[in-house]
Amino acid sequence: MAGEGFLFTCGVLLPVFIVIFNGFHIVQEGHVGIYFRGGALLNDISEPGYHFKLPIVTSYENVQITVQTDKVTNIPCGTAGGVVIYFDHIEVVNRLRKEYVHETIKNYTVNYDKTWIFDKIHHEINQFCSRHTLQEVFIDKFDSLDEQLASSLQEGCNRWAPGIEIIAIRVTKPRIPESLLKNYEKIEASKTQLLIAEQEQRVKQKQAETKRLEQKIDAESLAEINRIEMEKQILAKESLKKMEEIENSIYIERERSKADAHYYKVSKMIEAEQKQLTPEFLKRLAIESFANNTKLYFGESIPKFIMENVDQMMTRPAL
């Protein structure tokens, strides 16, 4: 009986233990846990770690809230000219913000990225191709396609699913028919040759420009040297001129000093002589001069005439 009771207890507790054990679950790092009961989304959101839910009744999903990359592959599209081409894959780097997890999942389920990334990429690629020719899709406008796709996807998300953030889009070159690809390869080869020719021409122009610049620098250097030499000569001439002017000034001053000294000497001599030319001195000088005269004249009126002349000489004003 005891053995049967033990087996009965184990037979009852073991399924209960399994059910309870299945209620434990793990939410991975970089994710949050969301819960469904009877197909309805619950308001509870759990953080990474161990958690417990009601077994069987409640189910859960891990929803990534870190940056992830969705790869959309084999996208067909027809150009405006009717050529069908394929994009092998387009990578969309995106993130679901944590505060919008419940709202986004409630509106678009856990497969929200199918609606707003996978399906939206197909739609935008087909819209782009239908409005442009093969040349524009494959060559002319291909470099702006990633930016255009990112802008279109983010615009739609902002309006209908604001929790989805489009970070970047990487687009590969589309596959085009082999015959057309060969034509484009020829065109690219011609463009490459043209670029090489243009590059060679630019190199030659640069070399010629460098040579002209070197010649210009040499000419400017020579002109600068000549200018400096001329300035040195001018400075030397000006220095010599100033020296001559100084020497001439010194000579003139010296001669002026000599002339002033001579003038002063002569003036003083004249002044001294004028002071000596008194009436008495002149009279004595006349008498001496008369006395030294060797000629004698006799007559009644001669002495009187001589004396009158002497008196007149004595009374004549001095020069």
86 pLDDT more than 80? yes
In this structure, what token pair is assigned to residue 59?
Answer: 């189910």
Counting every residue, how long is the chain? 319
Mean pLDDT computed over every residue of the chain: 83
Report percent pLDDT > 90 for the chain: 42
C-alpha distances (whole Å) from 165 to each of 60, 94, 145, 162, 242 are 24, 6, 18, 8, 86
Segment 22-54, tens digit of pLDDT: 678 899 999 999 999 988 999 999 999 999 888
Q: Could you give phi then psi for residue 297, rounded to 5 degrees?
A: -125, 145
Please say if the pLDDT value at position 161 is more than 90.
yes
User: Which pLDDT belongs to residue 18?
Assistant: 57
Q: Can you give the pLDDT at residue 7? A: 42
* Residue position matching structure tokens 């819960």: 35
Tokens 């005439």 correspond to 305
Residue 15: φ, ψ to 5°: -65, -35
**Sign, Cα dihedral of 279, 285, 286, 287:** positive
Question: For the CA atoms of 220, 221, 223, 225, what is the dihedral angle to 10 degrees?
Answer: 160
Q: How confident is the model at residue 5 (pLDDT cuts 50, 70, 90)?
A: very low
Which tokens sit at 134?
Answer: 């093969």
State the SS3 of 168-228. EEEECCCECCHHHHHHHHHHHHHHHHHHHHHHHHHHHHHHHHHHHHHHHHHHHHHHHHHHH
Find the mean pLDDT for residues 11-22: 54
**C-alpha of 73 from chain center:** 44
Residue 82 has pLDDT above 80, yes or no: yes
Q: Which residues pair with 169 in a beta bridge?
A: 92
Q: Which two tokens stand for residue 102?
A: 């419940």
Nearest to 10 by CA among 221, 307, 2, 22: 2
Residue 298 pLDDT: 52
Angle CA 144–147–149, to nearest 5: 105
Contact 90, 172 (CB under 8 A): yes
Cα–Cα dist 162/154, whole Å: 9
What is the value of pTM for the model shown?
0.56
| Structure-model confidence comparison of residues 100 and 270, the more confident one | 100
Nearest-5° Cα angle at 145, 141 to 147: 125
Mean pLDDT of all residues in 57-64: 92
- At residue 173, does pLDDT exceed 60? yes
For residues 173 and 138, the answer to whether their CB atoms sit within 8 Å is yes
Question: Binning pLDDT at 50, 70 and 90, where does residue 180 land?
Answer: confident
**pLDDT tens for each residue of 183-195:** 777 777 777 788 8
